[in-house]
Structure 1
Amino acid sequence: MHHTAQNDELLDIVDKNDNVVSRKMRSEIYLEGLRCFRVINAFVRNSQGQLWIPRRSASKDIFPLGLDVSVGGHVGSGETYEQALTRESEEELSLNTDEADCRFLGYLSPYEHGVSAFMKVYEIRMDEVPDYNSEDFTEFFWQTPRELLEWIKKGEPAKDDLPKLVRIFYGDSL
């Protein structure tokens, strides 16, 4: 897995209780296979219960052309989860979280939930197609949680955490 300097960023390293203990560059974290950093993820969900699922661009270092959560990103060093959600929503979907119908779904740990990092997961309710950044995503799909999991099970490439998050937060609708 190759990480270029242009998308490298300084991230906080946290202990098993999510307390900041040091900082490292993103490229070093992935090179070392660490899971002790922070990310945010959000699902856009419409009034029919469908999730807006984008396909990552071919230029992405991790899971190129894989399906992804609607919004996702690293929490930068010194940044809160909420600040990262605001920044990533603006960068990826041109969406102002202060004006959006946004709610917190839950907090996950790589040690307790088997996810890739410490993360807070959110849901943004909207029926419109987000104004997504074409450098991040190539196309999108509105899918129910069940349709999405079936598609991934049949071999559609997806980011590792995507099916886990769908099962955790939308499992009751399956």
Structure 2
Amino acid sequence: MTGGTEWLDLVNGHDEVVGRVTREEAWIRRLPVRVINAFLVNSCGELWIPRRTAHKAMFPNCLDMSVGGHVASGEDYLACFKRETREELNLNVDDVPWREIAYFSPFDTPLSAFMRVYEIRTDEAPDFNRDDFSGACWLSPRQLLHNIAAGDPAKGDLAELIRRCYLS
């Protein structure tokens, strides 16, 4: 981020960097950029699902992935995963078991961006950033999809990610 502007790498259909774009412009014009998402999964197979705070500009009060964020310009997916997990959950991924579980392209899926998805195994709820999330609960993938279908507001890609990563 420079001067309050968040810069992202603009990528082509092969996820190769072809330029830079602001986060705002990428969102407005639906340009291809990179993001990471991660899910905390406990030994019962439940996902730790937080609710975004009311003051978030995008998707306020919505259910969210355990971790999510845009890959900054010049950053790689793994560095972003580590940074976002530290910022949002106060968790160092070097101290917990984790793995990459999926890679998606917005050209092959209805998802919004090039996306790497990670899974962190833990039975402990994290000490999350209260500026990002207002609360959280453990839910099975099916219960989460049921809640969304019943009208609980959720971030745009959440239901599709659950279907692709945990129910396919």
Give the corresponding residue for 1:9. 6
Q: 1:168 aligned to 2:144?
A: no
Give the corresponding residue for 1:156. 152
1:66-105 alignment to 2 at 5 Å?
A: 66-105=62-101
Q: Which segments of 5 or more consecutive residues in structure 2 lack a partner in the other structure?
A: none
Cα RMSD between the aligned structures?
Answer: 1.3
Deviations 1:116-173 (A, max 9, x none): 100000000000011100000001010000000000001110011000000001005x
After TM superposition, the score normalised by the length of structure 2 is 0.96
Give the corresponding residue for 1:21. 18
Deviation at 1:60, TM superposition (A): 1.1
Which of residues 127, 132, 135 is equivalent to 1:139?
135
SS state at 2:81 partner: helix
Which of residues 123, 126, 129 is equivalent to 2:125?
129
Distance 2:157 2:4 in 1: 21
SS state at 1:114 partner: coil
Deviation at 1:43, TM superposition (A): 0.3
Runs of 4+ in structure 1 displaced over 3 angstroms? 5-8
SS state at 2:93 partner: coil
Letter in 1 for 2:24: S
SS state at 1:112 partner: coil
After TM superposition, the score normalised by the length of structure 1 is 0.93
SS state at 1:21 partner: strand
Deviations 1:35-57 (A, max 9, x none): x0000000000001100000001
Distance 1:59 1:81 in 2: 27
Deviation at 1:6, TM superposition (A): 7.8
Q: State the number of aligned residues.
A: 167
Distance 2:120 2:88 in 1: 13
